[in-house]
A and B are shown apart, each in its own frame.
Chain A
Amino acid sequence: MKALWGRVSARPEFITLGLIVLLVLGVSLLEPRFFSPQNLVATIRTTTRLGIFALGVLLVLAAGGIDVSFTAIGVFALYTTTTLTLMFFPTAPFALMLIVSMTLGALMGLLNGFMVWRFAVPSLIVTIGTQYLFTGFLKTFVGTKHIMDIPAAMDSSGTASLLQFSTADGVRVTLPLLFLVLVVTAVLTHLLLTRTLMGRAVFAVGGSSAIAGRLGFSVRTVQLFVFGTAGLIAGLGGMVHGSLNRLANPSDLVGTELDVIAAVVLGGARVSGGSGTVIGALLGVVLVVLINNSLILIGVPSTWQKVVIGGVILVASGVFSKRSGA
């Protein structure tokens, strides 16, 4: 028992996995439709959209910061890229659009990183500011209308399938190709965090930036890198989000950042920084998505979903905080 607890407390994502198993078992007893292919694919679609953002959030949390501007960056990059493509190069390939969107995202992220480093202001304050700044700029200078008529490459990439089949009752189910974007980004982020000196420097700065500086780590480089990369990932996430929904809406996403941050924290990343894993963050996202899906399935009103997620966070943070006191 003690050994088991030791193992679990060293790998908090086990707790997240345990919660997911419990939830799946519980809900499938109440509602057999839970195990339907449609529900599975719906879960994967939502996980793809939130999961990409979660990877950026994880990076920032690991380095001891917090970023609430990533949704604004995602929407800004999505909407601006879509607008630019329609204006100048409507037949642009999807890859080019991704590059533009990610570059825009990275630039905005670098601005966050620069301000956090230069003015030594808590990143929460900086990113609250830039969230307003980016959203305001987007709506004032780029546009406010929904774009339903998205560029052709975006449309086809959004609907392209990785796997397609019909269920027994004749419903066609499609697993989107863009799911692969999440897989690739997750693998890269995992390698970055665990196999590179930069990755370890991120955790070192998250543990204590004063100590990191004193031991020769460049805290400025780490902060610029972390926020820049988080911005780049947000640009990617925004584009994937828009393609999957086949819509570029300048009022989208902003307001949902806490869902993603909560998911990453549920995956074992401490808000105080210096911890977290890619696997944990993704499990956290799956948990949040499953809670939302299953509550709808078993007929719980959507307002209650927030209550449940809040409750799960409180319980999980209780469990997680116990491990550090060991």
Chain B
Amino acid sequence: MTPSPTPSPTTPRADALLRLEGISKTFGGVKALNNVSLELQAGRVYHLLGENGSGKSTLIKIIAGAQPPDAGQIIVRGQSYNQLGALEAIRAGIETVYQDLSLFPNLSVAENVALTTQLDLNGGQLARMLDWGKVKRIAIKALERVGLPTHAGFLAAPVETLPIAVRQLVAIARGIAARASLVIMDEPTAALTQREVENLLLIISSLREEGVSVLFVSHKLEEVFRIGGSVIVLRDGVKVLDGALSDYDETKISFVMTGKQLDQTTYRTGQPQSEVLLEVSNLARGTAFADVSFALHRGEVLGITGLLDSGRNELALALSGVHPATSGEVRLEGSAVQIRNPRDAISLGLGYVPEDRLTEGLFLTKPIRENTVVTVIDTLLKGIQLNFAAMTAKAVGFVKDLQIATPSVDLPVSSLSGGNQQRVMVARWLATKPKVLMLHGPTAGVDVGSKDALYKLVQRLAEGGMGVIIVSDDLPELLMNTDRILVMKKGRIAKEFTTADLEKDLLTQTLLSEDSSAQQ
């Protein structure tokens, strides 16, 4: 053990992998972290939980050396630092899968996975030859582990050409490519479907067996309890709980996180009306999906799920006009309609909240106000001028309704935490007062408290006569909110369930069955 250069008052426990002492961080008046101390042991899984904006990612960036703390000490294997450099953290065996992925869009998959292992190997020195053979071998090994293809074409593909779920897996592959002693994963499952999540859970348990510690962040408590281990809860930047997960259950943890009693087992309140609102017949698009027919009634909440290659994403994109269907028919309120582009969809009253808020929608550097009202900007004109007061009023209304945590709608969306950004996206589409609202992964990265709020909102909308379609991987979410669930497989609707008496295990089985051969 190396002697610590700045001896700390308390003697570090010999087996502590990492200790934080009194870490604080403030962003322009917002105390993101307030005097947080914690200790991680080797070979254990820790769940870092908390509401959106509670400081999880900030804490992670400080451990990973991506951001310096304002105060406090970071002690890695007995060596104490006021702040870690990114390279120091990596050399200390800390690998991080960032919430924003932090992949190089222009570099290949192989390089994104394995380049940093080479940097680490050379102690950060850049004046070194690159061993491409080694880079590829390391990349292939890690990609295999996360279940991605390993052929030359995929290795050489620039990351910017990949869909978001695949990028997430590439980021995870980078995290496990090096021999780390601590792997941090900041919401790695937010963009993954059931199959990849199952695989990730396997990876985490094998890391644990190899003696590697994992710091895991997720808003899906179900996953958290399946993995098990220790739990650390942050609330408004303060550590409010640190203990063994087995001492708690979902309701208790939610209470610690939010201060609210969230023990609802179902949210579905209303009943679908008899009138068919949207009818889809034999819809198809290329090789993505075919023969898709279903009806959505007024006031109904319909769930659609499926694995990554099931065609459910493409179906959602077709109904929203982003990638229109190539054949088939869509009828809205009884009359046939054409959806050739997103504008068609909007003017017909089909609202679509996309899955990937960062690349498909939000203007990160623009204020929350503009981001919220952009879809209805034409109704907010005063002559030829924008009615600023009306814009602000509308945006403030949504901020209240959806409980978006921000001091002002003047702030850019980038200042919000991930979950709050998601809510801005929902607000934007609610502003268009759609007849049918399609929510694609609506609570990916959204905390339990806000999920609660969002679900209640969905039910309110349905009771008001809106038809709601939720495309999601979060099975509990579908079970708690919908009337019916469609399971898609290989581009077709494989099964339809009535939600009321459906068991979750049956849904999971249906989702994963006959699927081992379909892996890429």
Contact = CB atoms under 8 A, between A and B. Distances in A.
Contact of B119 (A197, A208, A214): A197
B83 to A, nearest CB: 14
Interface in A270-296: 273-275
B241 interface: no
Nearest to B122: A197
Interface in B78-101: 85-87, 89-91, 98
Contact of A197 (B66, B98, B129, B156): B129
A203 B86 contact: no
Contacts of A273: 106
A197 B106 contact: no
Contact of A216 (B106, B107, B120, B132): B120
Nearest to A210: B102
Nearest to A222: B126
A218 B161 contact: no
B129 A195 contact: yes
A275 B107 CA distance: 9
Nearest to A323: B161
A27 B132 CA distance: 42
Contact of A215 (B86, B91, B122, B127): B86
B452 to A, nearest CB: 33
A215 B107 CA distance: 14
Interface string A231-245: 000000000000000
A203 B158 CA distance: 12
Contact of A274 (B64, B106, B127): B106
B107 A213 contact: no
Given A197-B122, A200-B111, A274-B106, A216 B130 contact: no
B130 A196 contact: yes
Contacts, number: 87
A200 B105 contact: no
Contacts of B64: 214
Nearest to B125: A197
B459 interface: no
A292 B407 CA distance: 59
Nearest to B87: A216
Nearest to A274: B106
Nearest to B100: A211
A37 interface: no
A324 B160 CA distance: 8
A326 B161 CA distance: 7
Contacts of B115: 200, 204
Given A196-B127, A216-B124, A217-B119, A211 B106 contact: no
Contacts of B120: 216
Interface of A: 10, 195-201, 203-204, 206-208, 211-218, 221-222, 225, 273-275, 324, 326
For the complex of A and B, 4 pairs with smallest distance between CB atoms: A274-B106, A216-B87, A207-B104, A207-B106
